[in-house]
Amino acid sequence: MYTILERRKLADQIYLMVVHAPRVAKACKPGQFVIVKMDEEGERIPLTICDYDRSAGTVTIVFQVVGASTERMAGLYGEDTFMDFVGPLGCPSELVEEDLDTLKKKKILFVAGGVGTAPVYPQVKWMHQQGIDVDVVIGAKNHEMLILEDEMRQVAGRLYVCTDDGSYGTPGMVTTVIEELADKGTKYDVCVAIGPMIMMKFVCLLTKELEIPTIVSMNPIMVDGTGMCGACRLQVGDEVKFACVDGPEFDGHLVDFDQAMKRQQMYKTEEGRAVLRVREGATHHGGCGHCGGDH
Amino acid sequence: MDVMKKVPVREQDPAARAKNFKEVCYGYNKEEAMQEAQRCIGCKNAKCIAGCPVSIDIPAFIGKIKTGDIEEAYQEISKYTSLPGVCGRVCPQESQCEGKCIRGIKGEPVSIGKLERFVADSAAASHYSQPAPQPANGHKIAVIGSGPAGLTCAGELAKMGCEVTIFEALHEAGGVLRYGIPEFRLPKVEVVAHEIEKVKDLGVKIETNVIIGKSVTIDELMDEEGYEAVFIGSGAGLPKFMGIPGENANGVFSANEYLTRNNLMKAYLDEYDTPIHSGKKVAVVGGGNVAMDAARTALRLGAEVHIVYRRSEAELPARVEEVHHAKEEGIIFDLLTNPVQIHEDENGWVSGLECVRMELGEPDESGRRRPQTVEGSNFILDVDTVIMSLGTSPNPLISSTTEGLDVNKWKCIVADEEHGKTTKEGVYAGGDAVTGAATVILAMGAGKQAAKAIYDYVTEK
């Protein structure tokens, strides 16, 4: 059992939890992820590590309610437990593994979208601890949905915030801000973009044009997270990669986002049915016979 | 009673079982078991023992069944194995113990597997105790993986008095017994969980949710956590794909994924959250036991299921019993058929499996006749789901994070066959991690041999 020591609502449908998981806290690095499972019946849910405290043996996760399982998870409070919490999974961020002197010479741009701000934070924090100031762009739907702004401000070099509806910061998408920065003549050696797939797709289209090598962090459907099931496979260039063991970070200019987005829809209907089951009880079990079931 | 034939075993009716996940085979009752036991002539130089990778004294335990002493039969089996309920169900007896049975020359061999299962099930039902382990000797051993190899190695070492901890990457112990083999062949609570409890009763600790190579490395286990030796029984978990166009379409799964969702995550039960795309028309590509398991699972989830295999029936690698059960349940066998492309609809879902017909040519290096494409024989199999069951290979998570541990070109850990000794001091390995995908019982045999070698190593060093 893994105890939830702290639980905070960051925004509508976005929650932060600090979980006691000493083995994970001891071994994890920025860029890696965990899989959590609430209870016997729960799904295995992959979540990127947002922060960790090795001495306290804790790992911080941030998640957004997207389906039945995360909705159920949002109902957990401090002192509740996860039955399972396993990790760290995947490879650490490419940048934190790089030679420090080389890294210090680079001009780095981090782009975070929505709940993707959470996995960007530990990388920016790590950079800050190494004495590297990086530029960070955070995009959110609106001011209410913006998360970790204060935390990020403390560790980022320059922080740019934008909202889709213009309710805070620069109006527009993260790509708007990146374009503005480029127009001002800021040159970046590398960009790290983490957020919804559609955002990463458009950031990559832009950075390809701007000739900025771009790393993205993929969070496709997974089951075991150790390379066993292949559910998380992605087309990266001319190779098929498993996000759980080969990633989660990849060269964004090589990822087939359209395919990845289609694959992410795979259980949409099943998941939708599961939501109904939670909300409306036993009446929606196993399809009604008219909807035809699967897809 | 025809002494040349096995006492038939009762099974669930094919039409009924095709719609549920309850166990197919009911097993013998005491009367049937005693009757079947009489067929064993108790050979002095029993060939069946040599056919068993864990060398169970088969005539001895069958002798106890003959006289109705089932508890004693259990004690006899327990000297050699901690997983009799598993072995009695999933061992390929026809090519091992039963394959060597003298009775098999003129008639049917003694039904050793079903007798072993009967003893195990009786032991579970009547709570027979197993022999007590040796007093603690203070030696601390880590076992990686809680599948058949790891459980056996851990159990054997615990019997010898060692302090053993198993590290399991998933949230439940059992490895392939849990995520791979379906409930209808191997019940999870009554058999798998029960026999794992028996291993724990010997003093073995199991720590789940620990991925060796990620959560902690082998070197850390030995240098920081005080383990004197390590056994790697991490299996062969990585799925293979064909590399044909369309393989990333929605509705294409590895058998590992399909089975893991269903077996480990219990997607077939309403109260569990993990979804499964069962499919309406499913093609399972491959002809091994895992292919049969995936096919029969899809069938039970309500699909029409085709096995697509490029050779003929004679070459099917699956056990005869599994093929027989699959056919009885209504699985369609498209033999001498090989997929070349997966077609997808505008939303990225599988809309058909394009295949070619095959014919058998000259024997290849495996001795099997090589399948050759019949040119121009392309056709589309109308399916919405494709399950790839082409075999698995060992996971490199451990080998890539452990300095000094050599692997061969198939990423299998290099270990000597007799002792499981690897190229790293104090580290042993066995089962599929060493051999590539094989059987439960071979993994158990390797775990057992390594246990002995590890014991010698820690006590002599």
Residue numbers of A between 74 and 103 with CB closer than 8 Å to B:
83-89
Q: Looking at beta carbons, which residues of chain A come within 8 Å of B395? A: 226-228
Q: Which amino acid is at A198?
A: I
Give the pLDDT of residue B347: 87
What are the φ and ψ backbone dihedral angles of B175, each rounded to 5 degrees?
55, -135
B306 forms bridges with which residues in the sheet? B283, B332
Confirm if A204 and A257 have CB atoms less than 8 A apart.
yes
What are the φ and ψ backbone dihedral angles of B221, each rounded to 5 degrees?
-60, -40
Give the pLDDT of residue A17: 96
Q: Which amino acid is at A273?
A: R
Tell me: pLDDT of A273 over 80: no
Using alpha carbons, select from B141, B115, B130 the residue that is nearest to residue B201: B130
How distant is the Cα of A42 from the closest Cα of chain B, in angstroms?
A: 5
Cα three-residue angle B358-B359-B364, rounded to 5 degrees? 105
Total-model pTM:
0.92
Residue pairs between chains A and B whose CB atoms are closer than 8 Å: 124
| Helix/strand/coil (H/E/C) assignment for every residue in A89-129 | ECCCCCHHHCCHHHHHCCCEEEEEEHHHHHHHHHHHHHHHH
Across the beta sheet with B205-207, the strand order is B205-207, B163-167, B140-144, B229-232, B427-429
Total number of residues shown for chain A: 295
Per the structure block, which two tokens stand in for B321? 């019993």
Integer Cα distance of A155 and A148 in angstroms: 11
Mean pLDDT, residues A255-268: 88
What are the φ and ψ backbone dihedral angles of B296, each rounded to 5 degrees?
-70, -25
Which secondary structure element, helix H or strand E, spans residue A36, and what is its range? strand A33-37
Confirm if A54 and A26 have CB atoms less than 8 A apart.
yes
Residue numbers of A between 259 and 288 with CB closer than 8 Å to B:
259, 262-263, 265-267, 270-271, 274, 285-286
Average pLDDT, chain B: 94
Which pLDDT tens digit goes with each residue over B193-234?
999 999 999 999 999 999 999 999 999 999 999 999 999 999
How distant is the Cα of A172 from the closest Cα of chain B, in angstroms?
A: 29
Integer Cα distance of B47 and B96 in angstroms: 10
Total number of residues shown for chain B: 461
Using alpha carbons, select from B263, B193, B186 the residue that is nearest to residue B25: B186
Q: Report the Cα A14 to chain-centroid distance in Å.
A: 12
Per the structure block, which two tokens stand in for A166? 């213009």
Per the structure block, which two tokens stand in for A268? 């949409």
Which pLDDT tens digit goes with each residue over B127-143?
998 888 999 999 999 99
Cα three-residue angle A223-B276-B440, rounded to 5 degrees? 65
Per the structure block, which two tokens stand in for B146? 């809680």
Integer Cα distance of B80 and B444 in angstroms: 10
Mean pLDDT, residues A159-165: 95
Q: What is the ipTM of this complex?
A: 0.90
Tell me: pLDDT of B367 over 60: yes
Q: Give the residue from B211, B258, B273, B390 with the most A CB atoms within 10 Å of its CB, the best one to mutate.
A: B273
Give the pLDDT of residue B300: 96
Confirm if B202 and B119 have CB atoms less than 8 A apart.
no
Give one word for B249, left, alpha or beta, with left for phi > 0 and alpha for psi -120 to 50. beta
Tell me: pLDDT of A270 over 70: no
Give the pLDDT of residue A288: 27
Q: A226, B395: Cβ pair inside 8 Å?
A: yes
Integer Cα distance of A200 and B31 in angstroms: 67
Per the structure block, which two tokens stand in for B69? 């002493």
How many percent of chain A have pLDDT more than 90? Answer: 79
What is the set of domains in chain B, with CATH numbers?
A: 14-126 (1.10.1060.10), 140-237+393-460 (3.50.50.60), 241-390 (3.50.50.60)
DSSP class of A27: H
